[in-house]
Structure 1
């Protein structure tokens, strides 16, 4: 046993922090809130970091160390063991799977956008491609990755690691280049005045906060790696704190960098889709490099998005391999190939992705499709994150039963108060996200997007309730056939 421990390939706490960081927040994630809230998003970031992100990371730390002996780990097992309910464990697994699908489609969209910048060198994609062709190519990319995921798993793992490190490097380079530009004669496009920093607490402001949670959440992804740390009790909290500081640095300084380049009162309409390319285009020209820097970023972005696809497709199959799947899912959907992968789960993933693409195809422009899918993530992802706090509340209400080597807020009432705050805030932001963000209130476009949001979420999460019903019908049919055969 001692020899086995010596030979085990341990992961350092910093490596775990980096692995978690690159799967949580990407360079482009800072652009979305900047367009929605302007420079005042700095205040939002600071507020969230102090009152939400630090508690969230520490809550994940306690959950991870409470169930560290379970190497599979993760949110579904936390809920299942914390509540003692297999049904809630399955529902959480399904929710975790369902919320990856809009992001899977969104990332596939970003692959096409990155390729267009590499080929065209500008933002004229919509002039060369119809919304139908855009949707069709997105679906083809998803299908290709569903095939490659099954055949080239190891290669995709390596690509994911390289892509994450490359994108983190580009984010850091961006901050350094903005600092260089400001010290060499450039001026802030958006002055750092209180009138620009002051949040405008409007309905639009609150409906866009879900995207901030979407950008900063995901720390629970580190849970399965707790057993890979040599000293989990000491090193896992270190990883979470490192994640907090890296997230704080990039969100604040990258937002200030955007304020140096863009006037928040005159942000391009397609900023969410093309803003990151505009940023490196501006910096490259400031540095006398022409479009070279933009092309470098486009190449890194393409590689990073392909790496993200690899991770998302893998995550999309996990719910079908869970230990509660056979109880709640029909047998046909759990059918596995020679490699042990549930092939029909990939078909379901492709089917729901196609549904979202067909729905988004009703929008008039490619930019509208990109924005709508992104905003949909600002709904479903926070709903998933709210379940983290339910798991925390479950173990703190039963803290005599669940022991952990790390306890976030030893006082029970204080811990429950923080847990309830985080849950209610996350749930409220997710629900407010249903309100369309780009369309004007009262217009036909606003009403259409509202119904698109509601219908999409019902399908994504509702399918999870349909499968257990189908499983019951299947079990009843099997029982009837057995009676007849006897």
Structure 2
């Protein structure tokens, strides 16, 4: 009898709860530093942008992801499967390609963040830009990417654990900053830096810069579809998965809105440091620690957490980007050599692609004047490419709802077909426009040589990264011709 109970426990399936899924998705989507570059771009008016996006975009996005995840709950390719099953194989391939290639600028960006975090741990200040040339910054970034690829086979599992721990610690540090900032101001330990702190400070300035930086807000808040693979690991996904998406939207809204208000307490929204995107989080925790009489302790704690989180995220990103094509792509689009796997089950040649494209981006950044400009430019590239990828979420939803009689889902977002299509088209068009406006260079004056330089870099980068997607089907076609000739 006792042995039967033991066997029953061993066979019992372990299910993930909806709060756990929400937390896993949250730490993958948004981190503390994601509120800094929108604050530099739009000032305190970004609070209005966050609130508007929360209700008109983030919540619909999360619930659309709920329906798509529960409609296509047995597909391995995630977003690519949504598009492939709701439209055709060709669009499914392009979704896979764009989903993979949009991770490359982010991989380079995360590698940059690793270097910045260690510079704060070692030097305790913002002197990296003065102590390292752009050439060596690019070389060190490339070495970090290459090192993590070489160590991927041995460290992957441990770094996924570190990613969860680092992500959880980052979430705690973010919430701690908001809470302690409010406490410091209410108890007289710190005066509000943004003055005047009134309704006028929140008024948006509807300029070209304002609209061209909205893509970065979408980049900061997007990724709800990443939770799709966890649907099969839930006991009652019909009831609980939408709950996880609601929790995700609420947590995202809390961090973006209240985190921005906390930043306004320590930084004058009208005079933000020029290197705020790169060094802002460290400035914030240093100022918070000083206002609480703790010196630089909080800043060093944050720097260590940031380093661990970014290194673990880099390992997971490299692994995920190497596997994406093994998920759900039609055979006619993918050369066999690219999907060839080593003894550990990894498609090794896709790592070569990742290294090559990372090197291409680093060569482009070598034409920029300093490390701060490189950091900002890579963020801006993510604000273009990532929203273009997100467009496929809404495309798949619209395609599915237009022929909803063909699909069965345990959860339906907006039962009225016309209403659902209206929301889907709104999200699709809004995301596409924001991504396209992201081509306009930021933090540089319009019409200057630097503006034109960055505009050319933006265009070249997007053409190369997306355009390379045409080569793989051509290579597969040539491969099949050789096979038939034999």
TM category, shorter: over 0.9
Aligned equivalent of 1:168, options 171, 176, 179: 171
Q: Contact between 2:323 and 2:347, CA under 8 Å: does it hold in 1?
A: no
Tell me the residue number matched to 2:471. 466
Partner residue, 2:255: 250
Question: How far apart are residue 6 of structure 1 and its match?
Answer: 6.5
Query: Which residues of structure 2 form unaligned runs of 5+?
Result: 1-6
- Tell me, in whole angstroms, the C-alpha distance in 2 between the residues paired with 1:76 and 1:406: 20
Match in the other structure for 1:42 = 47
Q: Structure 1 residue 3: deviation in Å?
A: 6.5
1:125 alignment partner in structure 2: 128
- Matching of residue 380 in structure 1 with residue 385 in structure 2: yes
1:33-85 deviations in whole A, cap 9, x for unaligned? 00000000000000001111111111001101111233x251000011111x1
1:180-199, aligned counterparts within 5 Å?
180-185=183-188, 186-190=190-194, 191-199=196-204
CA RMSD of aligned residues (A): 1.4
**97-106 or 321-330: bigger deviation:** 321-330
Asked if 1:8 corresponds to 2:13, the answer is yes
Q: After TM superposition, where is structure 1 displaced by more than 3 Å over at least 4 residues in a row?
A: 2-6
Matches within 5 A, 1:208-357: 208-324=213-329, 326-357=331-362
Give the Cα separation in 1 of the matches to 2:47 and 2:11.
Answer: 46
Indicate conservation of the 8 Å contact 1:96/1:384, yes or no: yes
Name the CA distance, whole Å, in 1 between partners of 2:202 and 2:10.
52
Q: Which moved more, 1:210-219 or 1:318-327?
A: 318-327
SS of residue paired to 1:188? coil
What's 2:403 paired with? 398
- Are 2:115 and 1:109 aligned? no
Query: How far apart, CA to CA, are the structure 2 residues paired with 1:86 and 1:242?
Result: 33
Structure 1: distance between partners of 2:160 and 2:244: 21
Tell me if 1:65 matches 2:70.
Answer: yes
1:428 Cα deviation from its structure 2 partner: 0.2
Asked whether the 8 Å contact 1:326–1:334 carries over to 2, the reply is no
Q: Is the 8 A contact 1:159 1:307 kept in 2?
A: yes
CA contact (8 A) 2:238 2:410 kept: yes
Structure 1 residue 331, shift from structure 2 partner: 2.5
1:27 corresponds, among 10, 32, 45, to 32
Residue correspondences, number: 478
1:86 to 86, 89, 95: 89
Q: Residue deviations 1:212-236, cap 9 Å, x none?
A: 0000010000000001011000110
Separation of aligned partners in 1, 2:9 and 2:438: 49
Is the Cα–Cα contact under 8 Å of residues 323 and 346 in structure 2 kept in the other structure? no
Q: Distance in 2 between matches of 1:317 and 1:100?
A: 10
- Residues 1:157 and 2:160 aligned together: yes
Alignment equivalent of 1:74, drawn from 71, 78, 102? 78
Q: Do the aligned partners of residues 252 and 229 (structure 1) sit closer, same or farther apart at CA in structure 2, a change above 3 Å counting?
A: same
Q: Is the 8 A contact 1:382 1:426 kept in 2?
A: yes
| Conserved? CA contact 2:96–2:329, under 8 Å | no
- Give the Cα separation in 2 of the matches to 1:340 and 1:246: 36
1:365 maps to what in 2? 370
Which position in structure 2 is the counterpart of 1:431? 436
TM-score, L = length of structure 1? 0.96
In the alignment, the residues of structure 1 paired with residue 393 and residue 152 of structure 2 have an alpha-carbon distance, to the nearest angstrom, of 28
Aligned to 1:456: 461
Shift of 1:325: 5.8
Instruction: Answer yes or no: is the 8 Å Cα contact 1:76–1:90 preserved in 2.
Output: yes
Residue 18 in 1 paired to residue 23 in 2? yes
Say which SS state the counterpart of residue 404 (structure 1) adopts. coil
User: Do the aligned partners of residues 301 and 435 (structure 1) sit closer, same or farther apart at CA in structure 2, a change above 3 Å counting?
Assistant: same
Listed one character per residue, the Cα deviations across residues 228-253 of structure 1 (whole Å, up to 9, x for unaligned) are 01100011011001001111111111
